[in-house]
Homo-oligomer: A and B are copies of this chain.
Amino acid sequence: MKILVATGNRAKFREMRDILREHGIEAERVDVDYPELQSDSPEEIAAHGARYCAESLGKPVIVEDSGLFVDALNGFPGPYSAYVYETIGNEGILRLLEGEEDRSARFISVVGYCEPGGKPVTFTGEVRGRIAEEPRGEEGFGYDPIFIPEGREKTFAELGVEEKCKMSHRARALEKFARWFKRHAGR
């Protein structure tokens, strides 16, 4: 069982590939640059992206959109996490939270699946946690060095990719997708 994954982010693809493999699905990366909708809803962004990619490739495909939502910052950076990471980075998030007691946050991942001519389907995964006082760890990418998942003391970047992929927002969204996809493909 195979699925195309449209993403320009190789680190993200490696995570997705490893997670899907656990569920018996083989992932192949395709580097399609799809226009991202400016929306507060990650579901809408993923659905729009999946539909665009399915039409332009002429094949079923998944895309993944994820975001970090910090409670004390009213959900910022949320759906614009990628842009915010590229401009103000982890340092910016930490600065915005200086002196803030409420450091709770959640990571959300949405996987969007679409077939050419079809309607997109989305699968959402979430992991709650908190923002560290300073960046820690070397693995993963993006906000991993500042995000501590619930029940742990280490950041995603300290836990390492393998450990992260057992509990991450992305793993949870992909698990939902995989269960659905196996039923769907078997029809």
Which residue numbers of A lie inside 8 Å of B, CB to CB? 35-40, 45, 73-80, 83-84, 86-88, 92, 95-96, 98
Contacts and interface: CB of A to CB of B under 8 A. Distances in A.
Contacts of A39: 35-36, 38
Given A36-B38, A38-B35, A74 B45 contact: no
Residue of A38, A75, A92 contacting most chain B CB atoms (<10 Å): A38
Given A73-B87, A88-B74, A96-B95, A37 B37 contact: yes
A45 B38 CA distance: 9
A79 B87 CA distance: 12
A98 B95 contact: yes
Contacts of A84: 76, 80
Contacts of A83: 38, 40, 76, 78-80
A106 to B, nearest CB: 15
11 contacts: A38-B79, A38-B83, A40-B83, A73-B92, A74-B88, A75-B87, A76-B88, A77-B87, A79-B83, A80-B83, A95-B98
Contacts of A76: 83-84, 87-88, 92
Nearest to A86: B74
Nearest to A83: B80
Contacts of A35: 37-39
A74 B95 contact: no
Nearest to A36: B38
A74 B89 CA distance: 10
A87 B73 CA distance: 6
Contacts of A88: 73-74, 76, 96
A176 to B, nearest CB: 24
Q: 8 shortest A-B CB distances, which residue pairs?
A: A36-B38, A76-B87, A38-B38, A74-B87, A80-B80, A76-B88, A73-B88, A35-B37
